[in-house]
Chains A and B, each alone.
Chain A
Amino acid sequence: MQYVDEYRQPELCRQLIAEIRQLATRRWTIMEVCGGQTHGLLRYGIDSELRDVVRLIHGPGCPVCVTPLESIDFATQLARRQDVVLASFGDMLRVPGSRENLLQVRADGGNVKIVYSPLDAVEIAASHPERQVVFFAVGFETTTPATALAVHQADRRDLENFYLLVSHVRVLPAMEMLMAGKDNSVQGFLGAGHVCTVAGYQCYEEFAREHNVPVVVTGFEPVDLLSGILECVRQLEGGEAEVCNRYSRTALAEGNRKALEIINDVYEICDQSWRGLGTIADGGLSLREKWARFDATKRFTQLDLPIIESTWCRSGEVLSGRIKPIECEHFSTSCTPESPLGAPMVSAEGACAAYYRYACDLTQQSVPELL
């Protein structure tokens, strides 16, 4: 596939790895913020290949993982209602709630529909006027144009049975929170390429300057990831802290203006609870008052049931890069994709799931080398 295959050439990857090794005079700590990049780094073995010169730690860039438990519980309650269709990305179904997940609700007869796009949920609402259709709107800036467009489409079609359960999160406030942490060890960031295609990357200029930390926007293929790491190491070695775009084939400094207009029309910035991390100031989005009729939290009442988080799960430490998944004593023992303690083990972008899938066979003997 064009613009994919050429960024997976092993020979180019080897050259980039050699260049990184040549440049690095010490071992640098670099964080990728996006869960898709986490999986790329593990899948292609980049983290273990570079472990002696770069310590790659994984950030909170898995929206499924940080969706607050309260919202998961609300979604399962809604899916149990006879009059509701709960539409969701497939990733959300196995995420543990306080008592159950959406997959269990569906097995019990709850109406949970997996959709590829929020616009598919709008179609379901249009063709089932007798049902109340709720789309579970999770995701970073990459996904917000799609859910905002769903609102615009539902409005134009005069749908009175379409709602969003919104749990959108924003990347930059989470990066700010990480840098403010007392035990922060991040020296450079790989910027989330697809978030930047929508939101742009000029917003990182002040962040890079203030924290004296390079931010290198990059993509998801191995050549992208390695060229991003190379630029990050180059800056760190030279004492620079700039925003640099290594995903220029599709990310612009100002982002996608049309998408941002649509997002800003539908959403406003709000403080947001991040599962495992707590409330982050300006860390999320909520529907503007003029679109309140599409807000599931206003249409339906959440049952007042206790919110019960696993006391074992160390996802907060994983999501903030303080530990790697394999440092958790429950990893691959009492926590597996089939029986997860927390969301990072089941999300397609979760760091624990990435280690389980790509590095699990190494955990018994090679843990120290991977740290």
Chain B
Amino acid sequence: MCLAVPGKVVEWRDRDPPFASALVTFGGIQRCINMACMTDVSLGDYVLVHAGIAISRIDPDEAAKVWATLERIDLDEMEIGDRSDTVIDEE
């Protein structure tokens, strides 16, 4: 139940809380999402969406820091640069 999906904010629709909303795209699927808890995000920002509500912003700098941390833990000759080619398939 606590699962949340990352999506990119592409267009503001309403700025009036509690009805604040924006169009958010999830890998090509767009949906109008309530933004009352995330009124200060910009277009192009990624947010985590749960039950129709944006609950947090995804910070690209912090996301990059995690990779830096993982690199430090001796990842041998791993190719960190291209991270998108091999993924475990969704069911």
Residues of A within 8 A of B (CB): 1-6, 8-12, 15-16, 19, 34-36, 44, 61-64, 89, 91, 116-120, 138-140, 142-143, 145-146, 149, 152-153, 156, 192, 194-195, 197-198, 220, 222-223, 227, 230, 246, 248-252, 256, 258-259, 262, 347-349
Choose among B3, B55, B59 the residue that contacts A259 (Cβ–Cβ < 8 A). B55
The interface on chain B, measured as residues whose beta carbon lies within 8 A of the other chain's beta carbons, has a size of 45
Other-chain contact of A9, B2, B19, B46, B87 (Cβ < 8 Å): B87
**Interchain residue pairs A-B with the least CB separation, the first 10:** A117-B52, A197-B56, A152-B18, A249-B63, A259-B37, A6-B83, A146-B51, A142-B2, A3-B6, A1-B27
Report A-chain residues with C-beta under 8 Å of the C-beta of B78. Answer: 11-12, 15
> A197 is contacted by which of B48, B62, B73, B74 (Cβ under 8 Å)?
B48
Indicate if the CB atoms of A9 and B86 lie closer than 8 Å: yes
Contact check, B1 vs A249: say whether CB atoms are below 8 A apart: no
Q: Is the CB of A349 within 8 A of B36?
A: no
CB distance from A10 to the nearest CB of B (A): 6
For B3, the chain A residues whose CB sits under 8 A away are: 36, 194, 220
Contact of A145 among B26, B55, B59 (CB under 8 A): B55
Write the chain A residue with the least CB distance to B26: A1
- Do B62 and A258 touch (CB < 8 A)? no
Inter-chain CA distance A11–B36, complex, in Å, is: 39
Q: How far, in Å, is A204 (CB) from chain B's closest CB? A: 16
Residues of B within 8 A of A (CB): 1-6, 8, 17-19, 26-27, 34, 36-39, 46, 48, 50-53, 55-60, 62-63, 65-66, 69-70, 73-76, 78, 83-84, 86-88
Least CB separation from B40: chain A residue: A258
- Closest CB of chain A to B78's CB: distance in Å? 6
Which of these, B2, B26, B38, contacts A194 with CB under 8 Å? B2
Residue pair B27, A258 in contact (C-beta under 8 Å) = no
Partner of A249, one of B26, B59, B73, B88: B59
Task: With both chains docked as a complex, state the minimum distance between the C-beta of A34 and any C-beta of chain B, in angstroms.
Answer: 6
Contacts of B73 in A (CB 8 A): 15-16, 19, 230
Give A259 to B1 CA distance when docked, in angstroms: 18
Whether B51 contacts A118 by the Cβ 8 Å rule is yes
Report which of B36, B46, B65 forms a contact with A149, defined as CB distance below 8 A: B36
Given A8-B87, A11-B78, A15-B75, verify A120-B2 contact (CB < 8 Å).
no
